[in-house]
Structure 1
Amino acid sequence: MAIPLSRSEERNVTSMEKSAWTEQEEEEDEFKECLEEPNGSVTPVFEDSLESNEVEKQKVVIMRAFVEREDSSAKDVDDFMIRRFLRARDLDVEKASAMFLKYLSWRKAAIPNGFISASEISTNLAHNKLFMQGVDKKGRPIVVGYGNRHKQGNIEEFIRYVIFALEKICSRMPRGQEKFVCIGDLQGWGYSNSDIRGYRASLSILQDCYPERLGKLYIVHVPFIFTTAWKMVYPFIDKNTKKKIKFVEDKKLRSTLLSDIDESQLPDVYGGKLSLVPIQDC
């Protein structure tokens, strides 16, 4: 899909790429696949202003003009959503536009009423496996998920549950915030909880339909047997998402979380002050 640009647009973008745009800082350490050598990084905070980066601003304008010609429903989204798709494709307008148009088609089919009702996901809600409470030091909402409460079942209902959760999380974003952080707790996780098909489906939805929403994922209380499942999922994680994942050793759990989350905002199950709230009740 080629996106035609006028000569003036091409000159503007090229000029700004050479003179004004500074790429996001690369993570100092590469993500390690081995659980024995966990690693993570702090995601940069982006200013809530399209004025802060002239190249992004220009490319948002170009991409919006194109996608609105292809699908009129694109007019309903704000520039920050356009920017998230651009960032997910390293500011490549053509790739980001293809990704975004695919998302619009997916959304019409997956969420025809604009929301997922509780009645559609009653089995997954009954597992009580996702919670929300508090924000980290960057103002990102905190989500806690318990892996040992997930059971393999109807994949279509699970996909709807994932969409329900992501929609709920996004609706609870504080003003000016675009990302959330998640604590994935695997204490008690066993083979009965291993759902590779479900993991891949949820990963695909997160990366393809809600790009640049995850700020950081802490994976805690990791049992050794999780290594097998991890190796089957790891190849499907894109490079940007990999940089946001951190495996946390039990002995460093509280100190690691407190480095990014104030005690007043940390869930009480990890030594903080707030009680967890089921995501359906948020």
Structure 2
Amino acid sequence: MSSYFRQKFQISSIWSSSSSSSPEEDKDEGKVNHQELKHEDDYEEEEEEEEEEKLELEDQKRDEIERSKIKIMRARLLTQDPSSQDLDDLMIRRFLRARDLDIDKASALLLKYLSWRKEFVPNGSISPSEIPNELADDKLFMQGLDKLGRPIVVVFGGRHKPKNLEEFKRYVTFSLDKICARMPTGQEKFVCIADLEDWGYTNSDVRGYIAALSILQDCYPERLGKLFIVHAPYIFMTAWKMIYPFIDRKTKKKIMFLEDKKLRSKLLNDIDESQLPETYGGKLPLIPIQDC
């Protein structure tokens, strides 16, 4: 064999041996890939665990800060209003959270609430006999719990007619007291569906809406979990533009307008069908607030 052909044969042999692999080698490569995937999964699990631990530590730190501020705020309240001794820690915490844990602002808000309560609800509760005209509208109901265990409230705005503002404010207070009394143990918030079907100018009550907002935000802070506004007609937006500036930053984040075509599917994201009111394709009949 000539030297030229010997060199060509050797080069070809080397190339063949380096480019081909045995079945065993292919299997080994497959094993290596699986191991790499396994390591990637382990890494993702470790990341998730680290994130959970981080969030848990943040929650613990926040709880410690809140407990400390609750003690300070309670002591301050007692020096200014002895009746505050009857307040539980959860109530003080709600007022603190409503004011971003600012003790001065939260204390001022809570003292204002205590003063309002003594004057506006001197008997400790609003009697149905004080609000006959509002109850006659049959416009506010309760039924069921959402997926977080929050009571569901339904308000039919098309049934509201502007009347006596003072009676309406008492009706709002009566309703919020009823809602809070119905909350399961450990729950502090409720969910509301504001249904504006058939709402028109005769139902428009900007003064009443602003008064209700003021009571909710200043006297029952951190009670609203979410507000769904459904079947809103175009003409409602005129009133909405007047109300919107009076809604605080925290409350605005809890409001959702739902399109009619997506209404049921969106509600089912938060509420099981077994807990959804019948009027929205669920299983439960609505109960008037006065009967709750």
Specify the TM-score bucket, using the shorter chain as the normaliser. Answer: 0.7 to 0.9
- Higher RCO, 1 or 2 (CA under 8 Å, sep at least 6)? 1
1:60 matched residue in structure 2: 70
Give the Cα separation in 1 of the matches to 2:82 and 2:149.
Answer: 33
1:240 matched residue in structure 2: 250
Question: Which amino acid letter does the alignment assign opposite residue 75 of structure 1?
Answer: Q
Candidates 74, 79, 99, aligned match of 1:89: 99
Question: Which amino acid letter does the alignment assign opposite residue 178 of structure 1?
Answer: E
1:218 matched residue in structure 2: 228
1:132 matched residue in structure 2: 142
* Cα deviation code 1:125-184 (max 9, x no counterpart): 000000000000000000000000000100000000000000000000000000000000
Question: Which amino acid letter does the alignment assign opposite residue 244 of structure 2?
Answer: Y
Candidates 181, 192, 212, aligned match of 2:191: 181
Largest Rg, 1 or 2: 2
Give the Cα separation in 2 of the matches to 1:265 and 1:190.
Answer: 29
Give unpaired runs (5+ residues) of structure 1: 1-19, 24-49
Give the Cα separation in 1 of the matches to 2:87 and 2:198.
Answer: 41
The answer on whether the counterparts of 1:128 and 1:278 sit within 8 Å (CA) in structure 2 is yes
Give the Cα separation in 1 of the matches to 2:246 and 2:261.
Answer: 29
Greater than 3 Å deviation, 4+ residue runs: 20-23
Candidates 102, 106, 113, aligned match of 2:116: 106
1:121 matched residue in structure 2: 131
- The 3-state SS of whatever aligns with 2:131 is helix
- The 3-state SS of whatever aligns with 1:264 is helix
Give unpaired runs (5+ residues) of structure 2: 1-55
* Cα deviation code 1:3-32 (max 9, x no counterpart): xxxxxxxxxxxxxxxxx9849xxxxxxxxx
* Cα deviation code 1:37-69 (max 9, x no counterpart): xxxxxxxxxxxxx99710001000100010011
1:143 matched residue in structure 2: 153
The answer on whether the counterparts of 1:141 and 1:179 sit within 8 Å (CA) in structure 2 is yes
* Sequence identity (%): 69
2:180 matched residue in structure 1: 170
1:277 matched residue in structure 2: 287
Structure with more of its chain in helix, by fraction:
2
2:89 matched residue in structure 1: 79
- The 3-state SS of whatever aligns with 2:166 is helix
Relative distance call for 1:78 and 1:51 in structure 2 (3 A) is: farther
Shift of 1:271: 0.5
- The 3-state SS of whatever aligns with 2:143 is strand
In the alignment, structure 1 residue 202 sits paired with structure 2 residue 234: no
